[in-house]
Amino acid sequence: MLWQPVNLTEACPAQAQLSSCTPFGFIFLNLVAQLYGGSYDARVQARRERGQCYNDEIEPREEYDFIVVGAGSAGCVVANRLSAVQDWKVLLLEAGIEQPDVTLVPGLATTLLGSNIDWSYETEPNGKSCLARPGQSCGWPRGKVMGGSSSINSLAYVRGSKEDYDEWAAMGNDGWSYEDVLPYFKKSERNLNIEGLNRKYHGVDGEQYVSRYPNVDKPAIMMIDAFHEGGVPIGDFNGAHSETTMYSQSTSKDGQRVSTNNAFIQPIRYKRKNLTVKSEAEVTKILINKQNAAFGVRYTLNGKVHTAYAKKEVIVSAGSINSPKLLMLSGIGPREHLEELNIPVKKDLAVGENLHDHVTFNGILVVLPNGTDTRVGNEEVLEDLYEYREMEHKHGPLSSNGPISAIAFIKTEPDLPAPDIQYQIDRGFLKEFVSQPALYDEVVIYPSSYYDALIPRTMNLVPKSRGKLLLNPKNPNGKPLIYANYFDDPTDIIPIVKGVKFLIGLEKTRAFRSMGAYFEKTPLKACKNYEWGTDRYIECLARSYTSTTYHPVGTCKMGPIWDEKAVVDPRLRVYGISNLRVIDSSIMPIVNRGNTNAPSIMIGERGVAFILEDWLKDRECDRFDYDYN
């Protein structure tokens, strides 16, 4: 299947006054699909299949040592490491399509949202957040493609704070302190910048490329300079101290995205005969016998139902939404909920609970006067699309993700153990955003390289509110009910208000003045009854124009056996079900203070290390000295 962009006919309501909804928007998306809609892996497979003969009537029993469900940020790592043991057969199943070429272009990251490689989830209303959005619901993009969300995210490589992992360990999760997990961050990392010289915190020999873009926007540098003038040290927030600011590194190389599919699967997919990868294969059930042991999965592919068997383990790496959904469909979850849906209960566990995300909002805008913005004409946008495709060494506007890698971390109170606020800078078109702020967020198709305004997003890194995920009673196999429950705990608004006040103060810095930048002080529609910049106005913005940071976690919580909310133990084994683990961001007991892609890769490394220890402990050879080629 080819990449299919968002359907503008459906996404753009009749009253839309956005450039995305003009005839040029349709032309732009059609050209992107033509230039970048294909897939490297699809082309390779087509070449390999020519001349091969198949007998569709003969279907041998699908039997493997390990089955990995989900080829996302963690699942690709797990499949790579397991298949490195040559006498193990490994099956990797992904519900989405092969990774299309469009995902490789950093500047087209937002163009991917709403397309056929996005699950396009939505939250349920709670009356306290997303109030100005249609149906009081916030969109939750999730990757439905090889590479998962690492193929559609904003590429920032951020680990969080040392204190995050020490807190996990203090909760009874042995083996998850910062000292424990740092080697696994470094193991997969191939750092191409000066940070790579600091071998205490960074790795240079791993598969996951980490680097800066070849093209950096001046407005992004302005924001870094302004944060620094405001008192935030410039430094590596993935190093010794996280309370810093810098132009973030990204999961990229030479101006192209490097997803976990690109890094961990493509280099081995056609070389390791013991690894089988199937895309567009959605797992619908984990098979569990009477002894409560997982022994395989049922999945759909090409309209047919298939069964695959695992001699050793089934590993669920489907992400914070689809991992709990699959467990519940398989009879692992809250007893009352499963019984209501007539799903036989295999194990009563708090699956789907502890859901949380770094809550943020859109609504504070920095205006860039003429001459300092990066907006260009339609013809130049199309020319850049052609030129990037033809470049051998990628550079120019599309080789970066605009200002989004301008990141800062602060503490809103000096005695906090670690930052509680993160700023990540989005880009926008001023007039369009001010006129239709809720709709603007829903239809953003143009490259992030072109804009005339900045939208600094103030993110609460330590949310206390907790939501949950439930199967949809109308269609349990369909999109689940996602109760993000933003701002259920009213104290979650406090650090956001303080963070925005700090942000507004940056208008006085030399960095802002040198570019003539200033904050747009016209109140947005939903908050027009409040004075711009006051606490009440900021709270109104946060509740009205609430937004995800794409960091949902916690739905298969890791915890010691005495933790009533724990779904997996510290070795990521599902309680009460043998031969079954969950290895992805859903196991986080508390979200890390930062973006979640890099920690998810680490969780993949840490989790698969447990598997290797358990299954290779009796071998005479060094259990980690296996072939990576």
What pLDDT, in 10s, does the model give residues 396-410?
999 999 999 999 999
Which pLDDT does position 442 carry in this prediction? 80
Task: Name the band, by pLDDT with cuts 50, 70 and 90, for residue 71.
Answer: very high
Partners of 64 in the β-ladder: 310
Give me Rg for the CA atoms of the chain: 24
Total domains in the fold of the chain: 1
Whether pLDDT at 622 is above 50: no
The pLDDT tens digits for 483-541 are: 999 999 999 999 999 999 999 999 999 999 999 999 999 999 999 999 999 999 999 99
CA distances from 242 to 162, 550, 592 (A): 8, 20, 12
Whether pLDDT at 58 is above 60: no
CA distances from 494 to 79, 340, 520, 542 (A): 42, 38, 23, 11
23-36 vs 378-390: helix crossing angle, rounded to 10: 0
Whether pLDDT at 90 is above 80: yes
Whether pLDDT at 56 is above 80: no
Which pLDDT does position 52 carry in this prediction? 65
Task: Please check if 283 is assigned to a binding site.
Answer: yes
CA distance 311 to 514: 65
The pLDDT tens digits for 437-455 are: 888 888 889 999 999 999 9
Q: Tokens at residue 488, please? A: 């259920």
Task: Please check if 305 is assigned to a binding site.
Answer: no
Which pLDDT does position 59 carry in this prediction? 64
Asked if residue 623 is part of any domain, the answer here is: no
Task: Name the band, by pLDDT with cuts 50, 70 and 90, for residue 313.
Answer: very high
Asked if residue 57 is part of any domain, the answer here is: no
Asked if residue 548 is part of any domain, the answer here is: yes
Q: Tokens at residue 342, please? A: 């007539």
The whole-number average pLDDT for the span 53-72 is 80
Task: Name the band, by pLDDT with cuts 50, 70 and 90, for residue 565.
Answer: very high
Q: For residue 347, what are the domain limits?
A: 8-51+64-616
Tell me, what DSSP letter sits at residue 419?
-
Average pLDDT value for the chain: 94
Asked if residue 2 is part of any domain, the answer here is: no
Asked if residue 112 is part of any domain, the answer here is: yes
Q: Which ranges of 443-562 would DSSP assign to H, the alpha helix? A: 493-504, 510-515, 535-544
Which pLDDT does position 371 carry in this prediction? 85
Whether pLDDT at 207 is above 50: yes
Task: Name the band, by pLDDT with cuts 50, 70 and 90, for residue 603.
Answer: very high
The pLDDT tens digits for 278-288 are: 999 999 999 99
The whole-number average pLDDT for the span 568-584 is 98
Asked if residue 85 is part of any domain, the answer here is: yes
- CATH number of the domain that 125 lies in? 3.50.50.60
Whether pLDDT at 621 is above 50: no
Task: Name the band, by pLDDT with cuts 50, 70 and 90, for residue 627.
Answer: very low
Task: Name the band, by pLDDT with cuts 50, 70 and 90, for residue 365.
Answer: very high
Indicate which residues carry an active-site annotation. 551
Q: How far is CA 48 from the centre of its chain?
A: 32
Which pLDDT does position 15 carry in this prediction? 74
Whether pLDDT at 626 is above 90: no
Asked if residue 3 is part of any domain, the answer here is: no
Asked if residue 627 is part of any domain, the answer here is: no
- Does the predicted TM-score (pTM) go above 0.85? yes
Which pLDDT does position 1 carry in this prediction? 84
Task: Name the band, by pLDDT with cuts 50, 70 and 90, for residue 247.
Answer: very high
Strand bridging mode 360-361 / 546-547: antiparallel
The whole-number average pLDDT for the span 259-280 is 98
Which pLDDT does position 624 carry in this prediction? 43
Task: Name the band, by pLDDT with cuts 50, 70 and 90, for residue 13.
Answer: confident
